[in-house]
Amino acid sequence: MSPTQPPVDLKSIARRAMLDHGLDPDLPAAAAAQLRTIKGPAVEHGAALRDQRSLLWCSIDNDDSRDLDQLSVAQPLAQGAVRILVAIADVDALIARDSPLDAHAAANTTSVYTAAQTFPMFPEQLSTDLTCLAAGQERLAIVVDMTVAADGSITASDIYRATVVNRAKLAYDSVAAWLDGRSPAPAAVTAVSGMDRQLRIQDAVAQVLKRVRRAQGSLTLSTLEARAVYDDTALIDLKPDENNRAKELIEFFMIAANGIVARYLEDHGRSSLRRALPDPVRWDRIVALARGCGATLPAAPDARALSAFLLERQQAAPAQFPDLSLAVVKLLGAGEYVLKRPGEACAGHFGLALNDYAHATAPNRRFPDVITQRLLKAALAGDAAPYGDEEVRALGQHCTLQEHNAAGVERQVRKSAAALLLQAHLGEQFDALVTGASDKGTWVRIAQPLAEGRVVQGFQGLDVGDRVRVRLTHTDVQRGFIDFARVS
């Protein structure tokens, strides 16, 4: 950047991207006024509310996450079974439906996490404090209570409201390093008597659930998500945020909990908002990618066959597996939120190999989870559903659209950040992976920094999953443009 050019303000770029994608970066005046009236967390008493404050609950999330949505705890039973409890923040207890804060959340439908800043669905005073399961604080929660047998089958489940206290706020990377034997237990673990054993039990159950899910066809995918790295306020890199054992612990507990919520509503004759991922339209390209690796997939979409192929490739070529995963993710397509009436057929989730799946475990971050929470609380109380079927259908369509828009914002700001890092490297060559190919253009991803750009020269004949050598020809930080030319 020349001395005469103004400094790049990624936050301004992020705000503009929010507005361009139909998302509101600011809290409306009415919602701000409502926020000023909220002085503390929701407090309730009653026979329907169980007291589970004494349990060794803990949260595990990203190092910098403060909008804590769920806790977990394990209780060993006879014959190798374990009772797993997942507590979900009762956001609805503090935020009434159709209130100004609720209306703002319903408009955006999701928190937006950009490389410049986070735009929370609920203001941070709520999502990182009064409606979150903050460490050491008494909070209301919805508890999904499941019994996992030694073979990984879920033999019993229940859902109820409870009062809980988070005993340890933990982070993925440090917990994973400890579980893998690469570092001592985090201080937050050793500070709570019995928490180390508690986490070992949870980890063991999660690994059993993982094996069962894989055998049933849940896809093993390991994409590299770019994480912004700052030195004070200066962006210095975009590094991959990789999977680990602690993330798997939470992933497989949440998958189980979300499935139980979906089935609970179905079993109680209630409509629900399901998370669906239909069979992939570009299955033929997935078949071709497998063929290029020496494997054969069926002509029709088959989750179990694809899962087996992915597991084999992960073991055979771990260094290349993130690239294969990304190609498959792109070809699977995007998920959507759909109405599920009791007794009627509904699209399942191809990637998870599940017929019954709802989003319920992140109500501070996703509005579909708030909708599901309200539907669930009505079912628990025996009250009429707070949303009619057509309203649920319309909300699902809106949430799907805004999720797509939020992803567009995150992608655009990530590209601006990458363009900022790459602007001093014009003319340099990179190894790349084709991540998108359509009439709208061809895109590739490079590894250092982790960035995606468009191939503007020599893109003919390229398809998702191809590897190619490219030269950086142009960057535009404000618009997030990164242009490459194919190198012969």
pLDDT digits (tens, 9 = 90+) for 22-58: 999 999 999 999 999 999 999 998 878 999 999 999 9
In this model, does residue 6 exceed pLDDT 70?
no
In this model, does residue 2 exceed pLDDT 50?
no
Spatial contact of 336 and 407, defined as CB atoms under 8 Å apart: no
What average pLDDT does this structure show over 375-393?
A: 97
In this model, does residue 238 exceed pLDDT 80?
no
> Max CA-CA distance within the chain?
72
Mean pLDDT computed over every residue of the chain: 93
Per residue in 388-446, pLDDT (tens digit) is 999 999 999 999 999 999 999 999 999 999 999 999 999 999 999 998 888 889 999 99
Helix pair 195-216, 245-267: axis angle to 10 deg: 70
Q: Which residue has the tokens 């003919």?
A: 460
pLDDT, position 72: 98
- Residue 7 pLDDT grade (very low, low, confident, very high; cuts 50, 70, 90): low
What average pLDDT does this structure show over 346-358?
A: 94
B/e letters for 23-57, b = 16+ CB within 10 Å, e = fewer, are bebebeeebeebbeebeebeeeeeeeeeebeebbb
Computed from CA positions of residues 38, 40, 42, 44, in that sequence, does the dihedral angle turn out positive or negative? negative
What average pLDDT does this structure show over 330-358?
A: 95
More confident residue, 236 or 153: 153
- Residue 65 pLDDT grade (very low, low, confident, very high; cuts 50, 70, 90): confident
Per residue in 438-475, pLDDT (tens digit) is 888 999 999 888 899 999 999 999 998 899 999 999 99
pLDDT, position 319: 76
pLDDT, position 448: 85
Q: Which residues pair with 85 in a beta bridge?
A: 73, 145
Q: What is the pTM of this model?
A: 0.91
pLDDT, position 483: 97
